[in-house]
A and B are shown apart, each in its own frame.
Chain A
Amino acid sequence: NAGVTQTPKFQVLKTGQSMTLQCAQDMNHNSMYWYRQDPGMGLRLIYYSASEGTTDKGEVPNGYNVSRLNKREFSLRLESAAPSQTSVYFCASSPQGMGEQYFGPGTRLTVT
């Protein structure tokens, strides 16, 4: 039981490049989330998916898109990366809304 997995672990992009961060969970959870963590701060919610087939914006959605591919997988896409998107990105899942959230190991993204 791997829990929540994320790929890649590290990524360096040039301004304007695009990429997709992948997240998968094997706990049969309904809800999934994407957060970003900037230095010295707590995590902020980018997008979430309450259940398969639904997605909603969180606190800081600008510059990102998401896809809930199926119940297991939730991807985050940066269409045109900017230096302000340099951050550590965490994916999380929970059994249902208002349940305990479990986090993946994070992706460290640098945009130069």
Chain B
Amino acid sequence: GIQVEQSPPDLILQEGANSTLRCNFSDSVNNLQWFHQNPWGQLINLFYIPSGTKQNGRLSATTVATERYSLLYISSSQTTDSGVYFCAVPPSNDYKLSFGAGTTVTVRA
């Protein structure tokens, strides 16, 4: 099956800092989703981004499907950004999401 690798595994930020999370995948995909799992366990949809760049407030994401990676940018981080960030992809001609292991982000005040 498709392999999804996220880096770094852990990230500690001071409030106000910027950061970049990376997601590499091993095969062609039809779409890609980024999720934030907050400390209460809720999975929140951040981006549905098969290709190109999208922005939502302080977060933005870029997917380069031809090179099999996606980046999630967090700018001016806040303590509420803490949690685990997952990327998930389906293989081509499929729609069952395969998840990466996640990046755990801790933002300190």
- The B contact surface, by secondary structure, is loop
Which of B13-21, B38-46, B55-63, B72-80 lies on the face that meets chain A?
B38-46
- How many residue pairs, one in A and one in B, have C-beta atoms under 8 Å apart? 55
The answer to whether B99 and A100 touch across the interface, beta carbons within 8 angstroms, is no
Give A91-110 as 1s and 0s: 1 = Cβ < 8 Å from B's Cβ atoms: 00010011111110110100
The answer to whether A58 and B96 touch across the interface, beta carbons within 8 angstroms, is yes
Give A59-80 as 1s and 0s: 1 = Cβ < 8 Å from B's Cβ atoms: 1000000000000000000000
Which of A11-19, A20-28, A39-47 lies on the face that meets chain B?
A39-47
Chain B interface (Cβ within 8 Å of chain A)? 1, 4, 30-31, 33, 35, 41-43, 45, 48, 86, 88, 90, 94-102
